[in-house]
Amino acid sequence: MPPSLPLVKGTLDLLILRALAWQPMHGFEIASWLEERSSGALDVDDSALYQGLYRLEGRELIAAEWGITENGRRARYYKVTARGKAHLKQETATWVRYTETVTGILTGPTEA
Amino acid sequence: MSFSIRPHIRRAFRLALRRRDLTQTDTDEELRSHLAFRIAQLEARGLTHEEADREARRRFGDSWEDAMNRVHDAARSRDDRMAMRERLDAWWSDVAYAGRSLRRQPFFTVIVVATFALGIGANATMFAVIDRLLLRPPPEVGNPRTLLEVSRLMTRGGVTNHFTVMPYPLYTALRADSTAFRDVAASSFITAQSIGTGANAQPVQVVLASSNYFRVLETRPALGRLFGPSEDGEAPSSDVAVLSDGFWRRGFDGDTTILGKTIRIGPRDFTVIGVTRPGFTGVDPLNVDVWLPLSYAPVFGMVRDGWTNWGQVWLGLVTRLQSGVTPDVAARRTLKWLTDGEAAWDAKPRGMRRMPDAPFEMRSTLPSAQLADDPQAKLARLLVGVTAVVLLIACANVGSLLFARGTERRREVAVRLALGVSRGRLLRLLFAETAILAACGGLLALVLARWGVALLHATLLSDFAWTESAFDGRVVAATATLVVLTVVIAGVAPAFRASRPDLVESLKSGGREGGIGVSRLRTLLMTAQVALCVVLIVGAGLFVQSLRRAATVPLGYEPTGVLTASVMNLVPLGYKIPQRLALYASLRDRIATLPGVAGAAVAATYPVQGMFRFAVDIAVPGRDSLPPSPDGFVPTYNAVSGGYFSALGIRITDGRPIIDSDVSTATRVAVVSDAIARAYWPGERAIGRCLVLNADSVCTTVVGVAADVKQAIDGTSAGFVVYVPLRSEWDLGPNAVIVRARNGRAEELIPAVRRAIQGTAPNLPYANVQPFDALLAPQLRTWKTGSSLFTLFGGLALVIAAIGLYSAISYTVAQRRHEFGVRVALGARMPDVVRLVMDQGIQAAVIGTIVGAVAAASLGGVVAPHLFQTSPREPAAFALAAVVIVVVAALASVVPAWRASRVDPVTALRAD
């Protein structure tokens, strides 16, 4: 397993929103989803994940509701609000443009 | 089982926010469930339960406790944030709800907003004026707190006043005293001078200022430079002028190339070197057009007998003291300089009055100190009280309307309470309504105040220089404060009352009868409004009475229909007395032939003209001493042509007046005032007596006695005056033509008189032609301001109270519809019902009038100093107030009464 990558500041919120854009999930599901998607390359503390969730909830980008899982456990389910969707769309565009630009510069030809 | 409610649902039902301990358990449960999932996942991968548990916790971070703290913190800040947002939402929804419910009742809303607007508007207006007059330091003066004015406390007849005119040698003495005074600047008082000649001549307000004047005041120019060392000295060498911003804009259209151009003032051309910044007027808030160097004082005839004259007081002195020197020390030193200077001065004039012990005071130049003695400023303070009363009436009115509204809404409130809405929340809702009403009223009040300030400035305060409007951020802030204040005064009690209805009772009775408590409260508020109105109307009546008495007080002459015409600047232009006599003689001849002129005369001075009072020494052969004048002043004399007494309407009580042949022949005759005749020859005739005037060698024979003349409306008429024929030997030059209009309307003659003057000789300076009434106007101003504003605010209060009365009675009628229906059904006739309703209004009016009259009588001492020959308990004012109130109350109740009498018993009884 390659060494895990530290998270760039601010990206966790985006990743959570992306995960929830898929479908409503509870905290553990989101954690598993992130591990799966990044093949374990992203280093996210579970405490950081919950802080992120509460931060997003406070900004009303996501909303929470208690529900029952498939195997009958109570869990707090999160879903993206309309504001959250708009935020995700906008921030994703910014992120893409940002990384493209930085990548372009970093991988471009070096001048003599 | 705990369940979570979505925020918007919670908002919709106005449910309580989540509690902190609930949040804690919520989060704990969420984390427990997370750990369970993780442990299950890890166990599935083959870890033992203990290993899985340890790993699951490790994934939260290196220290479990730290991790938990971080997560709980995040949860808490989330909750705070959501709570705040919910509170804002709730707030906004309250406001929106209140707004909607107000829109449903436009009549109520309009009345309350209008009441607030009038009440707050009146107060905002007075605040703006007071702020300008009394609260702000003089504009464009640097460090106004350390700038002091040299003043002397003179006590006469038990009244102490600040005298601020000083002799020139005192200025040089203080300036040299660098131990106490860091710097001292001098300026003359404002005088009108003529700029230009002939038909284009204009008057300008000129101040002569020492070379360091602008430096001491720490003001900077807007253009060019101000006076400096080159303007120093006592010889008029530097022909320069500084213009005020106002004059530069008005007279020169703000010409930026004005520097270096010359303007002709009196006999000289002055080069403009600078323009002051907008608003700068020196220490006094009065209009100034031009500043000229102090060294030009002799040119304008303002310095008599040289610069060493301790007897002539004509300069205002301002100073900055050395650090560590207290104003008291400086004041004592100043008195010593004055005493020493006067003692060493050998040319003391005759009749110079001394008050050797009168102490000096280094007085603040802030308006609060400057205007401490000013009757207008004192009156302004009284009027602040008046507007406060208007606001109280408005608050009582609104409060009463809100009580009524609370009663109407008892059902709604009861339903809400029954549904579990908290009382605090309900209070907030009711309060939001009052706040919205007051805020709208406040906005409207700003519009009213803006207009009111402009009106007051234009009418009653026109000689105060306000370059920028008095209406600004401070007024807005004051208005906002007033809005909050009125919400609290008018809104608190009704809101509390409305939020506490008797639940069961309200739901049962269908809210038909107004609670007895509320109706008693409303009656009380109505009575209070009436009482406050009575106080204001009595005040208005007293001021109107004062004005009427002051305007018609016997002065010893008839000012109405008289004009005075003076050509300015003749002395600085080099006219000697014989030339002035010739000029004024031909002016008089030309003016006398104008159509509409009943008579014209020339005089050295005339009543009210305080600037020119000429002292005279009187001796009577054979008498060692003569009784002094009862008014405490030295005798004065006046030189007049024939026709003077008839032109001014001064009665000759004995003998004959001065006639033109007295002027042309060299007979030594005089007319004396009645006061002299009574004092010198009590019980005997004065005619034929011999007077020796000014240590003359020959007798001047008394040929007539003239009625006493008042110099001031509120002054005494017992002055000693001697009238002599206008001839060069008396050293009194002519200064004015006195013109009497045939039809009594002096102002109609002004253009013709001015044309006649300019046609007499080419290139004459500006001629000051004014009706005598205008000269007296400043003396009437206090009573005029008082009566106009008291009447205005009293009228305003009356309107507000009438609205209050009307709406209160209408409300009662609506509430008692059922009862009236029953009465009519049982045979009551229309007049019975009308009387029933009218009684309510009249009763409030009568009780209010009695209470108000008692209050007004006990407040008499407050207004007494502002009145003229009018007792604060003048019965006429009280009678007027009573009549006005009863008439207004009757008018306010007549419409609701009529409506009550038209109640159809069938509809009224069927309604419920």
Instruction: Report the pLDDT value the prediction gives residue B353, as an integer from 0 to 100.
Output: 52
Instruction: Report the pLDDT value the prediction gives residue B241, as an integer from 0 to 100.
Output: 95
Contact B4 A66 (CB under 8 A): yes
pLDDT of residue B659 exceeding 90, the answer is: yes
Phi, psi (degrees; rounded to nearest 5) at B672: -110, 155
For residue B512, name the pLDDT band (cuts at 50, 70, 90).
very low
Higher pLDDT, A67 or B171: B171
CA distance B657 to B643: 8
Contact B60 A58 (CB under 8 A): no
**Best of B2, B28, B37 to disrupt the A interface by mutation (most A CBs within 10 Å)?**
B37
Contact A64 B78 (CB under 8 A): no
- Please state which of the ranges B120-134, B176-190, B746-760 shows the lowest mean pLDDT: B120-134
For residue B313, name the pLDDT band (cuts at 50, 70, 90).
confident
A76 contacts in chain B (CB < 8 Å): 26, 29-30, 33
Instruction: Report the pLDDT value the prediction gives residue B21, as an integer from 0 to 100.
Output: 60
Neighbours of B852 (CB within 10 A): 27
Does residue B206 contact residue B568 with C-beta atoms inside 8 Å?
Answer: no
Contact A46 B29 (CB under 8 A): no
Contact A76 B30 (CB under 8 A): yes
Mean local confidence (pLDDT), B49-61: 90
Instruction: Report the pLDDT value the prediction gives residue A1, as an integer from 0 to 100.
Output: 42
Instruction: Report the pLDDT value the prediction gives residue B717, as an integer from 0 to 100.
Output: 67
In chain B, the percentage of residues whose pLDDT exceeds 70 is: 92
Give the position of tokens 């700038």: B147
β-partners of residue B877 are none
Can you give B855-884 as a three-state secondary structure string? HHHHCHHHHHHHCCCCCCCCHHHHHHHHHH
B90–chain A nearest CA distance, Å: 17
For residue A4, name the pLDDT band (cuts at 50, 70, 90).
low
- Please provide the DSSP assignment of B628-658 as one string: PPTTSSPPEEEEE-TTHHHHHT--EEEE---
Does residue B231 contact residue B238 with C-beta atoms inside 8 Å?
Answer: yes
Instruction: Report the pLDDT value the prediction gives residue B355, as an integer from 0 to 100.
Output: 62
A105–chain B nearest CA distance, Å: 35
For residue B568, name the pLDDT band (cuts at 50, 70, 90).
confident
Find the Cα–Cα–Cα–Cα dihedral B553, B557, B559, B565, rounded to 10°.
-150
Instruction: Report the pLDDT value the prediction gives residue B18, as an integer from 0 to 100.
Output: 53
pLDDT of residue B5 exceeding 60, the answer is: no
Q: Does B59 touch chain A (CB under 8 A)?
A: yes
Q: Does B75 touch chain A (CB under 8 A)?
A: yes
A75 contacts in chain B (CB < 8 Å): 30, 33, 37
Mean local confidence (pLDDT), B501-530: 66
Q: Does A50 touch chain B (CB under 8 A)?
A: yes
Give the predicted TM-score (pTM) of the model: 0.73
Instruction: Report the pLDDT value the prediction gives residue B2, as an integer from 0 to 100.
Output: 39
A102–chain B nearest CA distance, Å: 31
CA distance B334 to B317: 11
Q: Which chain A residue has the Cα nearest residue B38?
A: A28
Higher pLDDT, B882 or B839: B882
In chain B, the percentage of residues whose pLDDT exceeds 90 is: 37
Mean local confidence (pLDDT), B626-632: 80
A26–chain B nearest CA distance, Å: 9
Predicted confidence (pLDDT) per residue in B147-159, tens digit? 999 999 887 767 7
Buried b (16+ CB within 10 A) or exposed e, B436-458: bbbbbbbbbbbebbbebbeebbe
Instruction: Report the pLDDT value the prediction gives residue B3, as an integer from 0 to 100.
Output: 44
Contact B82 A60 (CB under 8 A): yes
Chain B residues 620-679 with CB within 8 Å of chain A = none
Angle at A102 between CA A99 and CA A104, to 5 degrees: 105
Record the tokens describing residue B804, joined without a space.
């209050």
Predicted confidence (pLDDT) per residue in B186-196, tens digit? 999 878 888 87
**What CA–CA distances, in Å, run from B320 to B144, B364, B477, B885?**
10, 11, 33, 56
Contact B77 A50 (CB under 8 A): no
Give, rounded to a whole angstrom, the gap between the first and last alpha carbons of chain B. 48
Higher pLDDT, B648 or B715: B648
Predicted confidence (pLDDT) per residue in B788-818, tens digit? 888 999 999 999 888 888 888 888 787 777 8
For residue A36, name the pLDDT band (cuts at 50, 70, 90).
confident
CA distance B162 to B153: 5
Instruction: Report the pLDDT value the prediction gives residue B463, as an integer from 0 to 100.
Output: 66
A55–chain B nearest CA distance, Å: 6
Does residue B676 contact residue B704 with C-beta atoms inside 8 Å?
Answer: no
B33 contacts in chain A (CB < 8 Å): 26, 28, 73-76
Instruction: Report the pLDDT value the prediction gives residue B227, as an integer from 0 to 100.
Output: 94
Q: Which chain B residue has the Cα nearest residue A76?
A: B30
B24–chain A nearest CA distance, Å: 13
Most confidently predicted of B105-119, B466-480, B605-619 = B105-119
Identify which of B6, B74, B85 has the shortest CB distance to residue A50.
Answer: B74
Amino acid letter for position B489: I
Instruction: Report the pLDDT value the prediction gives residue B499, as an integer from 0 to 100.
Output: 77
Instruction: Report the pLDDT value the prediction gives residue B10, as an integer from 0 to 100.
Output: 52
pLDDT of residue B19 exceeding 60, the answer is: no
Q: Mean pLDDT, chain B, as a whole number?
A: 85
Phi, psi (degrees; rounded to nearest 5) at B638: -140, 140
B29 contacts in chain A (CB < 8 Å): 74, 76
Q: Does B89 touch chain A (CB under 8 A)?
A: no
Higher pLDDT, A23 or B367: A23
A34 contacts in chain B (CB < 8 Å): none
Q: Which DSSP category does B149 fall into?
A: E
Instruction: Report the pLDDT value the prediction gives residue B809, as an integer from 0 to 100.
Output: 83
Record the tokens describing residue A50, joined without a space.
């919950």
Mean local confidence (pLDDT), B292-311: 83
Neighbours of A89 (CB within 10 A): 12
Does residue B555 contact residue B607 with C-beta atoms inside 8 Å?
Answer: yes
Q: Does B58 touch chain A (CB under 8 A)?
A: no
Predicted confidence (pLDDT) per residue in B95-147, tens digit? 888 888 888 888 889 989 999 999 999 999 988 888 877 788 888 899 999 99
Which helix H or strand E contains B183, and what residues bound it?
Answer: strand B181-188
A28 contacts in chain B (CB < 8 Å): 33-34, 37-38
Give the position of tokens 């704990």: B28
Which helix H or strand E contains B474, and what residues bound it?
Answer: helix B473-498
Does residue B81 contact residue A56 with C-beta atoms inside 8 Å?
Answer: no
Record the tokens describing residue B292, joined without a space.
């000229």
B37 contacts in chain A (CB < 8 Å): 28, 73, 75
Q: Which chain B residue has the Cα nearest residue A77?
A: B30
Identify which of A28, A60, A64 has the shortest CB distance to residue B37.
Answer: A28
Contact A27 B34 (CB under 8 A): yes
- Please state which of the ranges A1-10, B109-118, B215-224, B392-401 shows the lowest mean pLDDT: A1-10
